[in-house]
Chain A
Amino acid sequence: MKNWKLWISSLFLLVLLIVVFAGPSLPFVDHHLKQHGVIKTETGAFILPPIPPREGFPLGSNHKGVDVLSLIIMGAKETLTTVILVVVIRYVLAIPLAVGGFYSKLLEKILQGWQQLFSFMPPIFFVTFFVTLPLIFFSKERGLWVILVIAMLETGRVAEIILQNMKETKKRPYIEAGIVAGGTPFRLFKNYYMPVVIPHLIILIVNDIGRVLFLLAQLGIVHVYVTHTFITNELGAYEVVNTSLAWPTMFEKITADIFTYQWIPFSVIGAIAVTIYTFNLFADGLQKFFENKYRTYRADL
Chain B
Amino acid sequence: MIFRNIFHQTLLWLITIMLFLTLLFLPRTAAYDIGAGGMYKGATYNYSLNAHIDQFKQFFQYLKENKGLGTVYNGISLTENIWRTFQKSMLITIPALFLGFFLGIAKGVFDYRIRNRRGKLFGVHTTRFFLSIPDLFLIIALQLLIMEGFEAGLLPHIIVYGSDQPSVVILDIIFLAIYPLFYIANITFFSIRDEQGMDYIRTAFSKGTSSFKVLYRHVLKNCFVKILSHTNTITLYALSNLFIVEFLTNYRGAAYFFYETVTSPKAFMVGQDFSIAVYPAAGYVILFTAVIFLAKVLSEIAKGMVSPLERNE
Which residues of chain B from 201 to 255 have any CB-CB distance to chain A below 8 Å in the complex?
Answer: 232, 236-237, 239-244, 247-248, 250
Q: Is the CB of B232 within 8 A of A119?
A: yes
Q: Is the CB of B262 within 8 A of A120?
A: no
Q: Indicate whether B76 reaches chain A with its CB closer than 8 angstroms.
A: no
Q: Indicate whether A239 reaches chain B with its CB closer than 8 angstroms.
A: yes
**Residue interface bits A49-64, CB-to-B below 8 A is 1, else 0:** 0000000000000000
Q: Is the CB of A222 within 8 A of B263?
A: yes
Complex Cα distance, B199 from A301, in Å, reads: 13
Q: Is the CB of A117 within 8 A of B16?
A: yes
Task: State which size class the interface on B falls in.
Answer: 35 or more
Interchain Cβ contacts within 8 Å, total number: 162
Residues of B within 8 A of A238 (CB): 40, 267-270
Q: Is the CB of B140 within 8 A of A258?
A: yes
User: Contacts A125-B258, A238-B40, A266-B144 given: A116-B12 contact, CB under 8 Å?
Assistant: yes
Q: Which residue of A lies closest to B19 (CB)?
A: A117
Q: Is the CB of A123 within 8 A of B274?
A: no
Residues of B within 8 A of A281 (CB): 132
Q: Is the CB of B248 within 8 A of A138?
A: no
Give which listed residue, B250, B269, B288, B293, contacts A255 with CB less than 8 A: B250
Complex Cα distance, B159 from A259, in Å, reads: 12
Residues of A within 8 A of B73 (CB): none
Closest chain-B Cβ to A66's Cβ sits at a distance in Å of 21
B residues at A contact (CB < 8 Å) = 12-13, 16, 19-20, 23-24, 26, 28-30, 38, 40, 42-45, 47, 115-116, 128, 131-134, 136-137, 140-141, 143-144, 147, 161, 193-194, 196-197, 232, 236-237, 239-244, 247-248, 250, 258-259, 262-270, 274, 276, 285, 288-289, 292-293
A-B contact pairs, 15 of them (CB 8 A): A117-B16, A120-B16, A121-B20, A124-B244, A125-B259, A133-B45, A135-B45, A214-B134, A217-B134, A233-B267, A238-B268, A240-B268, A266-B140, A276-B133, A281-B132
A residues at B contact (CB < 8 Å) = 116-117, 119-125, 128-129, 131-135, 137-138, 140, 210, 214, 217-218, 221-224, 230, 232-233, 236-240, 254-255, 258-259, 262, 265-266, 269-270, 272-273, 276-277, 280-281, 284, 298, 300-301
11 more A-B residue pairs beyond the given contacts A134-B30, A266-B141, A276-B132, with a C-beta to C-beta distance below 8 A: A123-B240, A124-B240, A125-B288, A218-B136, A238-B269, A255-B161, A269-B134, A270-B137, A272-B136, A277-B132, A300-B193
Which 8 A-B residue pairs are closest in the complex by CB-CB distance? Answer: A122-B240, A280-B132, A273-B137, A134-B30, A138-B43, A132-B264, A135-B45, A134-B45
